[in-house]
A and B are shown apart, each in its own frame.
Chain A
Amino acid sequence: MIETAFTPLQSLGGGALIGLAAVLLMAMMGRIMGATGILAGILQPANLSDWSWRAAVLLGMLSGPIAVLFVTGQLPAVQVPVSTTMLVLGGFLVGIGVTFGAGCTSGHGVCGVARLSPRSIAATLTFMLTTALTVYVVRHVIGV
Chain B
Amino acid sequence: MRLILSYLIGLVFGVGISISGMANPAKVLNFFDVAGTWDPSLAFVMGGALIVTAIGYRLVLKRQAPMLAASFQLPTRRDLDLPLIAGSALFGVGWGIAGFCPGGALPALGTGRSEVAIFVVALLAGILTAKRIQSALNDRSSAPA
Residues of A within 8 A of B (CB): 1-36, 39-40, 43-44, 49, 52-54, 56-68, 75-82, 84, 86-102, 104-106, 108-115, 117-119, 122-124, 126-136, 138-140
Asked if B123 and A17 make an inter-chain contact with CB atoms under 8 angstroms apart, the answer reads no
A28 near B13: Cβ-Cβ < 8 Å: no
Contact of B106 (CB < 8 Å), options: A44, A62, A114: A62
Q: Would you give the shortest CB distance from A45 to chain B, in whole angstroms?
A: 13
Interface residues of B, dominant DSSP: helix
Check A65/B41 contact, CB under 8 A, given A110-B53, A113-B50. no
Determine if B48 and A13 form an interchain contact, defined as CB atoms under 8 angstroms apart.
yes
Nearest 6 pairs between A and B by C-beta?
A95-B126, A64-B14, A60-B10, A90-B98, A14-B20, A15-B48
Q: Is the CB of A127 within 8 A of B20?
A: no
Does B136 count as interface, using CB distance less than 8 angstroms?
A: no
Given A92-B122, A130-B96, the answer on whether A76 and B24 have CB atoms closer than 8 Å is: yes
Whether, in the assembled complex, B145 has its beta carbon less than 8 Å from a beta carbon of chain A, the answer is no
Known: A64-B17, A135-B29. 6 other contacts (CB 8 A): A15-B49, A26-B60, A54-B6, A78-B115, A99-B87, A104-B91
Asked if B126 and A91 make an inter-chain contact with CB atoms under 8 angstroms apart, the answer reads yes
Shortest CB distance A140–B (Å):
6
A35 touches B101 (CB 8 A): yes
- B residues within 8 A CB of A3? 30, 37, 39
**A97 and B60 contacting across the interface, CB-CB below 8 Å:** no
Contact call A11/B119, Cβ cutoff below 8 A: no
Q: Are A19 and B99 in contact (CB under 8 A)?
A: no
Please measure, in the bound complex, the distance between the C-alpha atom of A93 and the C-alpha atom of B67, giving whole angstroms: 37
In the docked arrangement, what's the CA distance between A130 and B86, Å? Answer: 10
Contact between B92 and A90 (Cβ–Cβ < 8 Å)?
no
- Docked Cα-Cα span, A3 to B30, in Å, equals 8
Contact of B143 with A by CB under 8 A: no
Tell me the bound Cα distance from A60 to B128 in angstroms: 23
Closest to B104 in A: A105
Bound-state Cα–Cα, A1 to B36, Å: 9
Point out the residues of chain A lying under 8 angstroms from B10, CB to CB.
21, 56-64
A78 touches B57 (CB 8 A): no
CB atoms of A17 and B13 under 8 A apart: yes
**Could you tell me if A96 and B68 are in contact, using CB atoms closer than 8 angstroms?**
no
Q: Provided the pairs A15-B16, A60-B14, A62-B107 are in contact, do residues A140 and B35 lie with their beta carbons within 8 angstroms?
A: yes
